[in-house]
């Protein structure tokens, strides 16, 4: 069975992808290949970081691989927190603090438009292909729901009256940035397989 390394140690993401590809491709984590290095995420864009991670793995392990990076881009904040979404509230950051900071920055701001964007960099036999998934929506004034993670409680996707944190994972995946990007990746892998 062909193998593909996913440059992550996030078991949740790994299982999600393995389940979606079925038994056609064996998806390996960083742990599976014995990589415990801190892969640099020093680029200033999501594309740059996804690309840095996947090329790092390809050049060290010479195996087909992919990496992802996601950010929340808020229009009134000129696209912030974007590539800095995970560490928006600074060192010792957690999701609660990130949300608090976001709501504080948007206090009194009427334009609440935002989008989640996921970028996946896939490297097959030395060629890089980029896949993108976008979920458009608005930032609410307060938190709603307790499912999901990250900024989910304050993100109301377009066409819905509820936040990502009020949706089951199945429902969120259909419209989410990551769901869309992953389906593009899987479609590509399926056609590659033929
Ligand atoms: P990562 O690149 O997938 O690790 O995502 C970076 C950061 O973006 C996370 O730490 C979260 O703060 C935020 N994020 C990514 N995906 C989501 C999501 O689906 N919902 C809410 N927040 C997310």
Query: Which CATH number fits the domain that encloses residue 31?
Result: 3.90.950.10
Question: Per-residue confidence at 194, pLDDT binned at 50, 70, 90?
Answer: low
Residue identifier of the C-alpha nearest atom 5 of ligand 1: 70
d(CA 10, CA 104): 30
For residues 30 and 126, give the distance between their C-alpha atoms in angstroms, rounded to a whole number: 19
Report residue 167 as tokens.
């949706």
pLDDT digits (tens, 9 = 90+) for 95-151: 999 999 999 999 999 999 999 999 999 999 999 999 999 999 999 999 999 998 999
**C-alpha 16 – ligand 1 centre gap (Å):** 15
Q: How far apart are CA 149 and CA 112, in angstroms?
A: 20
Alpha carbons 152 and 98: distance in angstroms, whole number = 11
Ligand 1 pocket test target in 11, 51, 72, 140 with most atoms within 8 Å of CB: 72
Phi, psi values for residue 2, rounded to 5°: -65, 150
> How far does residue 75's CA lie from ligand 1's centre (Å)?
17
Tell the residue nearest (CA) to atom 23 of ligand 1: 150
How many folded domains does the chain comprise?
Answer: 1
Distance between CA atoms of residues 119 and 71, nearest Å: 9
Instruction: Enter the tokens of residue 64.
Output: 């087909």
Ligand 1 surroundings by CB, under 6 angstroms: 69-72, 85-86, 98, 116, 148-152, 164, 176, 178
Confidence band for 183, pLDDT divided at 50, 70 and 90? very high
The residues that are catalytic are: 69
What spacing in Å lies between the alpha carbon of 194 and ligand 1's midpoint? 33
Q: Whole-model pTM?
A: 0.93
DSSP characters for 78-122? TT-EETTGGGTT-TT--HHHHHHHHHHHTTT-S--EEEEEEEEEE
Q: What is the mean pLDDT of the chain?
A: 93
- Per-residue pLDDT tens digits for 36-65: 888 888 999 999 999 999 999 999 999 999
Residue 87, token pair as written in the block: 């560490």
Q: What is the pLDDT of residues 145-158, one digit of tens each?
A: 999 899 999 999 99
Give me the domain span that covers residue 20.
Answer: 3-191
From the CB of residue 22, how many other CB atoms can be counted at a distance below 10 Å?
9
Tokens of 172: 């969120």
Which residue reads 């393995």 in tokens?
A: 18
d(CA 23, CA 43) in angstroms, rounded, equals: 34
């Amino acid at each position: 069975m062909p193998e593909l390394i996913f440059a992550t140690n996030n078991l949740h993401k790994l299982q999600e992808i393995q389940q979606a590809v079925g038994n056609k491709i064996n998806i390996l984590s960083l742990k599976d290949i014995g990589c415990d290095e801190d892969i640099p995420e020093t680029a200033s864009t999501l594309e740059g970081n996804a690309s840095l991670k996947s090329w790092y793995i390809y050049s060290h392990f010479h195996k087909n691989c992919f990496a992802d990076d996601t950010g929340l881009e808020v229009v009134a904040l000129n696209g912030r927190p974007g590539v800095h979404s995970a560490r928006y509230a600074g060192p010792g950051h957690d999701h609660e603090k990130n949300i608090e900071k976001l709501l504080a920055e948007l206090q009194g701001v009427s334009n609440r438009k935002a989008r989640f964007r996921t970028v996946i960099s896939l490297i097959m036999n030395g060629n890089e292909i980029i896949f993108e998934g976008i979920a458009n929506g608005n930032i609410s004034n307060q938190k709603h729901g307790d499912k999901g993670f990250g900024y989910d409680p304050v993100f109301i996707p377009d066409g819905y009256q509820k936040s990502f944190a009020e949706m089951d994972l199945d429902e969120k995946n259909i419209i989410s940035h990551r769901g869309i990007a992953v389906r593009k990746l899987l479609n590509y892998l399926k056609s590659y397989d033929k």
